[in-house]
Amino acid sequence: IKELNDLLAKIQSTGDKFSPELKKVARFVLENHHVVGFLSIRHLASLAKVNHSTMVRFAKVIGFSTFSEFREVFRPKYRPEENNSLMTTGSEINQQVGKDFALSSVSNWKSVSDLGVLDSPDMHDKIRAAARDILQAETCYVLGVGVANSVATNFVYLADMIVPGFTSLPSGGDLPIDVLGRGTKKDILIAMTFKPYRREVIEAVNFADSLDIPIIAISNSPACPIMAKARTRFVIPTSSPHFFPSMVPITALFELLLGYLISEIGNEVIVDLRKMHIRRHTFGIYVEEANELEY
């Protein structure tokens, strides 16, 4: 393995098979991979709270002859960051068929928060692939609890306007596992949890995996327990000055996903959305005239 992303993906996918001590190393490496290539093995072992021999053993289990070879993967060649902002001109965006829906979402969020992690071709490719998987599924379950619950509910509300078959979890008085118990490998689960991780989300993901339901995992750490079972993984920073993780980047991710759902379906969904809004106006759903308002 020569690419860092490939190595991190392998650690994520095999992490549940490690011994407790190796799991400590895996968790440390996933959450601190930016320093692995530049600190001594003893320093890294101290930070991971394991013996330095455990670090060596971990490297060999992953497939390297020595720890030095393992560490070389974490020494990328840094270069000045190019300005590839998504805030392109309107004409440039319009030339990218379908992508304009997704890009406009990120452009609007840029002024609110630093969403650089979403501003890359690789990320867009991954989101587009996730959109295709979702459209092929019979039912898409979206699981979020705590601060993530409103994000999940809002996404399901909007996505269901585009194409039917979305269910937010938890739903009503049901536990996530109650609803997932009716799922099959033809469905898909989007699950998200952020440090400190919620037990019910981890349990639901493990249960879905036992039913062969494909999983899209979202978290703010690559060491999150739900990552190991996932087909697609999104690690999105949610730093905030408050006591809770910021949902701004997560909302932006879901807006991008909505954009790609629209672009994958094509013009027919635009026609359907217009019909829906015309129908709502016809039934007087919206208050449009000033004289209709009562103060």
Tokens 């630093």, residue?
A: 114
Q: Where are the beta strands (DSSP E) in 26-118?
A: none
**pLDDT tens for each residue of 131-179:** 999 999 999 999 999 999 999 999 999 999 989 999 999 988 889 999 9
Where do the domains of the chain lie?
Answer: 4-72, 92-278
CA distance 171 to 77: 47
Residue 98, Ramachandran bin (φ over 0: left; ψ between -120 and 50: alpha; else beta): left
Please tell me which residue, 28 or 116, carries the higher pLDDT value.
Answer: 28
Query: Residues near 94 by Cβ (< 8 Å), separated by ≥ 6?
Result: 100
What strands lie across the sheet with 166-169, from one edge to the other? Answer: 166-169, 140-143, 188-192, 215-219, 232-235
**pLDDT tens for each residue of 219-278:** 999 999 999 999 999 999 887 766 788 898 999 999 999 999 998 988 888 888 888 888
Beta bridge partners, 215, equal 189
Closest of 186, 184, 235 to residue 208, by C-alpha: 184
Whole-model pTM: value is 0.71
User: Domain 4-72, what architecture?
Assistant: Orthogonal Bundle (1.10)
Q: Does domain 92-278 have CATH number 3.40.50.10490?
A: yes
- For 169, the enclosing helix (H) or strand (E) is strand 166-169
Residue 254 contacts residue 150 (beta carbons within 8 Å): no
Angle between helices 52-62 and 4-14 (to 10 degrees): 100
